């Protein structure tokens, strides 16, 4: 069955006209499925120039066609990269820096479903690499490019309603570890929240705005990794329980395009609601220690390249 295009849910009145008056170059990772795909198509429909990233050449080509149908007046582009490999992330970042001088919006949406995915040839657990380490490395490498833009914005999909616990990178990278799928998913989220808070703090004197966005419990294939009890618990926390991907993409579009979010950085949002971060995430010591651990993992992967 052919997928329906992700356009049927309109933005709130007035916003689409406002957004179409702008034209930002928007990079979306994980753009070949789920919310990433829906968001890419909706952004193109709202007059933006899209740059999509996916693992499959065939899927990237298919989404580029849908993006072109939604926004036919712009030159959209696609990149193929396996974000479980830091060598691929480094290559992608170099290509982006060379070929996208006007990049001003980034959405980090690529994610694996919860669970152990195996250790890559670079010595990193594949799901951990996709869900966190690739975001850390990609964003750090293209930050110099973002500094050259006017009021750039970054939105990383990471739900702030996850209970905070200091992530154990050794356990996440241990093939003999006992972490279940839920604990891994929660840890990946907390990794991203720590990173985003620290990076926003480091860039507070620039025009770059960085925020975390949790879309709620959305009807995508990632839900298959959750038990009925987990879905019920998430539903109690989320105003987007059971909504479609195109609907769930709307708050993220608002964060990327609307004047309401000009100058707002370091925030954690669940759907359209700002969530105060756990006090431990606010700890500069914890954030810097975790940054050092992450940098060491990146160096490990780079040393094992090839």
Yes or no: say if 89 and 81 are a contact pair by the CB < 8 Å rule: yes
Res. 241: pLDDT tops 70 = no
Yes or no: say if 116 and 127 are a contact pair by the CB < 8 Å rule: yes
Quickly count: other Cβ atoms within 10 Å of residue 87's Cβ.
17
Q: Look at residue 3 in the predicted model and tell me its pLDDT.
A: 42
For 163-191, what is each residue's pLDDT tens digit? 899 999 999 999 988 899 889 999 999 99
Buried-exposed string 201-232: b where 16+ CB fall within 10 A, e elsewhere:
ebbeeeebbbbbbbbbbbbbebeeebeeebee
Residue whose entry in the numeric block shows the structure tokens 């994980």: 30
Yes or no: say if 273 and 239 are a contact pair by the CB < 8 Å rule: yes
Identify the band that residue 16 occupies on the pLDDT scale cut at 50, 70 and 90: confident
Yes or no: say if 83 and 134 are a contact pair by the CB < 8 Å rule: yes
Yes or no: say if 268 and 212 are a contact pair by the CB < 8 Å rule: yes
Residues listed for the chain: 306
Identify the band that residue 287 occupies on the pLDDT scale cut at 50, 70 and 90: very high
Res. 242: pLDDT tops 60 = no
Res. 296: pLDDT tops 90 = yes
For 81-132, what is each residue's pLDDT tens digit? 999 999 999 999 999 999 999 999 999 999 998 789 999 999 999 999 999 9
Q: Look at residue 267 in the predicted model and tell me its pLDDT.
A: 95
d(CA 234, CA 268): 17
**302: CB partners within 8 A, 6+ apart:** 86, 87, 90, 122
């Amino acid at each position: 069955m052919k997928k329906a295009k992700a356009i049927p849910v309109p933005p709130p009145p007035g916003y689409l006209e406002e957004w179409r008056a702008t034209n930002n170059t928007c990079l979306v990772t994980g753009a070949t499925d789920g919310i990433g795909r829906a968001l890419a198509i909706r952004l193109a429909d709202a007059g933006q120039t899209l740059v999509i990233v996916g693992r499959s050449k065939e899927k990237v080509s298919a989404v580029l066609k849908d993006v072109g149908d939604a926004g036919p007046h712009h030159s959209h582009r696609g990149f193929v990269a396996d974000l479980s490999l830091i060598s691929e992330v480094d290559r992608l970042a170099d290509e982006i820096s060379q070929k996208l001088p006007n990049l001003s919006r980034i959405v980090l949406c690529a994610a694996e479903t919860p669970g152990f995915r195996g250790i890559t040839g670079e010595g990193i657990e594949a799901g951990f690499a996709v869900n966190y380490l690739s975001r850390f490395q990609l964003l750090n490498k293209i930050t110099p490019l973002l500094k050259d833009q006017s009021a750039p914005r970054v939105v990383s999909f990471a739900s702030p309603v996850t209970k905070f616990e200091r992530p154990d990178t050794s356990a996440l990278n241990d093939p003999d570890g006992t972490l279940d799928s839920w604990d891994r998913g929660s840890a990946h989220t907390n990794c991203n929240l720590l990173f985003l808070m620290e990076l926003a703090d480091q860039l507070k004197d620039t025009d770059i705005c960085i925020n975390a966005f949790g879309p709620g419990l959305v009807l995508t294939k990632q839900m298959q990794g959750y038990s009925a009890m987990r879905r019920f618990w998430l539903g109690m926390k989320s105003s987007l329980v059971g909504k479609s991907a195109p609907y769930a993409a709307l708050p993220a579009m608002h964060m990327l395009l609307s004047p309401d979010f000009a100058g707002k950085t370091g925030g954690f949002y669940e759907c359209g609601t700002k969530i105060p971060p756990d006090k431990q995430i606010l700890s500069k010591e914890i954030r810097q220690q975790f940054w050092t651990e992450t940098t060491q993992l990146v160096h490990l992967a780079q040393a094992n390249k090839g």
